[in-house]
């Protein structure tokens, strides 16, 4: 299969990816984690795992996700805090019906919340 690559600052190396991958969620979609109690809005997508080996190895083996799937960068929140999360596609579910995300960085990239998702600011699009 034909592959492309990109440099991942988090991984500190080039990451090879298939030319075609299928992301289930898009930038601006509101999602929730299937097993942990947090939700977030997607602000970036990696076509395959593109974080550090340390990060990957820190996940317990019995729940460690497959690398060959999209991974999402989220402005995330739970009942106690707001943070950035990096989550595999297999561990996310749609959650736009639960309302907007209360993360301090959301307003930097997104405009209004409507129909279960955010719209990217015009100044951030091409």
For the chain, give every domain's residue range: 3-124
The list of the chain residues with pLDDT below 50 reads: none
Q: What angle do CA 52, 39, 67 make, to 5 degrees?
A: 30
> What pLDDT is recorded for position 122?
80
pTM over 0.95? The answer is no
Q: What is the DSSP string of 64-75?
A: PPPSSS-EEEEE
> What pLDDT is recorded for position 10?
75
CATH node for 3-124: 2.30.30.390
SS3 content of the chain, % helix, strand, coil (to 5): 15, 40, 45
Strands 39-46 and 30-33: antiparallel
């Amino acid at each position: 299969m034909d592959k492309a690559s990109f440099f991942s600052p988090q991984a500190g190396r080039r990451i090879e990816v298939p030319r075609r991958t299928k992301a289930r969620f898009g930038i601006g979609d509101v999602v929730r984690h299937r097993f942990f109690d947090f939700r977030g809005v997607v602000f970036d997508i990696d076509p395959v795992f593109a974080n550090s080996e340390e990060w990957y190895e820190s996940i317990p083996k019995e729940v460690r996700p497959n690398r060959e799937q999209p991974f999402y960068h989220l402005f995330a929140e739970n009942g106690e805090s707001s943070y950035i999360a990096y989550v595999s596609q297999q561990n996310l579910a749609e959650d736009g019906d639960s309302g907007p995300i209360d993360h301090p960085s959301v307003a930097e990239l997104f405009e209004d919340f409507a129909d279960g998702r955010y719209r990217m600011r015009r100044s951030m699009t091409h």
